[in-house]
Chains A and B, each alone.
Chain A
Amino acid sequence: MTETSARQDWIDGISVMLPLIPGVLPFGMIAGVAASEAGLDAWAGIGQSMIVFAGASQIAALQLIADAAPALVVILTGLVINLRFAMYGASLAPHFERRSVWMRALIAHLMTDQSYALSVTRFNMRPEMSKAARLRFYMGNAGLMWVVWAAATAAGYFLGNSIPPDWSMDFFVPLSFIALLVPSIRETPMAAAALTGGVVVALAWTLPFNMGLFAAAVCGVAAGYLADRHFSQHRKEPN
């Protein structure tokens, strides 16, 4: 492993995150605005983005704080929204085996929808990537995400939401996930998983605590797994 290619892994990791930043900024700013409206001081307002580092959960918790909900309700709501991270961890784990406990803790803390999706789609497209290269690629994109998230929250806290809503900057989020999803569907079971996830989330949208997303992930995985078993049985059985 030469030094140049190691540096290239970092650069690759950072540069894949760059197009996702326009979508991350408005959400970070919303978290900053919500923190200031809920009465958090600047340390807590920006600290929550560094410590919790999970947008939907932070915004829901801050709204409950603003509504003077009991602390236990705030905490449980903030946690239930993040259940999906356990699944991301299971999915990422094989790529980061045999790391020290501190490195695994850092990998875990930096996990987001964006870093998970960017990294796992890249690892699947390039199975020849070394374990060391995977770690550098992940740290590059996840580390940048953490810095951008904290900075966007600080900007929202101090400046308010200064991006005009007419620009539809939030639309960068689904677009960047479309850019990751579409090329990764190379077999029917993958399409079954995506289709099921999309239909279930639309049906389950009214469920509280982001449970629609969690239900969609579970159902989509089940659909993909069943479709995969169905097709591999058909391939095995000679007619």
Chain B
Amino acid sequence: MDAATIWLCIFAIGAGTFALRFSFIELAGRMALPESMTRALRFLPPAVLSAIIVPAVLRHGPASDLYFGIDNPRVAAAAAAALVAWLTKSVVATLAAGMATLWLIGWMIN
């Protein structure tokens, strides 16, 4: 692909992505969103966070398929992190618990 076409792709994806990001912010600036919609959107953060977490935990590498085996060290590490998050509500403690568990299991396996 030549340089001009590459720039065309970048600007087209950039403009379209901006339109997606801006659409409802702009709409809500002009009129009130329906109450049922604002009520439903309260559940977007847990739904989307969970949907980002699950594949990232069930994958071995960045591009591989999901792996449901119980011997996936990432599942144990994620469970440890979730427990610490629940007990401490601390981001740093959660990251430390999850990474420590993952590295420890990796070190024990090798």
Instruction: List chain A positions with a Cβ less than 8 A from chain B.
Output: 16, 19, 22, 30, 38-41, 44, 47-48, 51-54, 57-58, 61, 65, 68, 71, 74-75, 78-79, 82-94, 96-99, 101, 104-105, 107-109, 111, 113, 116-117, 120-121, 124, 165-166, 168, 170-185, 189-191, 193-198, 200-202, 205, 212-213, 216-217, 219-225, 228
Q: Given A104-B22, A202-B54: A177 and B49 within 8 A (CB)?
A: yes
Cβ of A194 and Cβ of B90 under 8 Å apart? no
- For A19, A44, A83, A224, which residue has the most chain B Cβ atoms within 10 angstroms? A224
In the complex with contacts A40-B6, A79-B20, A194-B47, A93-B55 CB distance below 8 A: no
Contact with A along B4-38 (1 / 0, CB 8 A): 01111111111011101111111111000100111
Contact B48 A104 (CB under 8 A): no
Q: For the A-B complex with A52-B13, A108-B18, A193-B46 known, give 11 more contacts whose Cβ atoms are closer than 8 Å.
A: A30-B62, A65-B6, A65-B9, A93-B33, A171-B77, A178-B78, A183-B85, A184-B46, A190-B46, A194-B49, A197-B50
Question: Is B40 located at the chain interface by the 8 A CB criterion?
Answer: yes
How far does the alpha carbon of A195 sit from the alpha carbon of B3 in the complex, in Å?
45
Interface magnitude class on chain B: 35 or more
In the complex, A201 Cα to B23 Cα: how many Å? Answer: 25
List the A residue with the shortest CB-CB distance to B37: A90
Cα of A104 to Cα of B18 in the assembled complex, Å: 11
Q: Are A91 and B91 in contact (CB under 8 A)?
A: no
A19 to B91, CA, bound (A): 7
Given A19-B92, A104-B26, decide whether A174 and B52 contact each other with a Cβ distance below 8 A: yes
For the complex formed, measure the closest distance between the CB of A216 and the CB atoms of chain B, giving whole angstroms.
4
> B33 touching A94 by the CB < 8 A rule?
yes
Of the candidates A84, A93, A172, A197, the one whose C-beta lies within 8 Å of that of B46 is A197
A108 to chain B minimum Cβ distance, whole angstroms, is: 4
Do the beta carbons of B22 and A105 come within 8 Å of each other?
yes
Whether B25 lies near A108 (C-beta < 8 A) is yes
From B10, B27, B65, B85, give the contact of A44 (CB < 8 A). Answer: B10
A85 vs B13: C-alpha distance when bound (angstroms): 13
CB neighbours (8 Å) of B1 from chain A are 38-39, 65, 68, 71
- Tell me whether B20 and A52 are in contact (CB under 8 A): no
- Bound CA span A168–B28, Å: 40
- Asked if A171 and B21 make an inter-chain contact with CB atoms under 8 angstroms apart, the answer reads no
Whether B61 lies near A165 (C-beta < 8 A) is yes
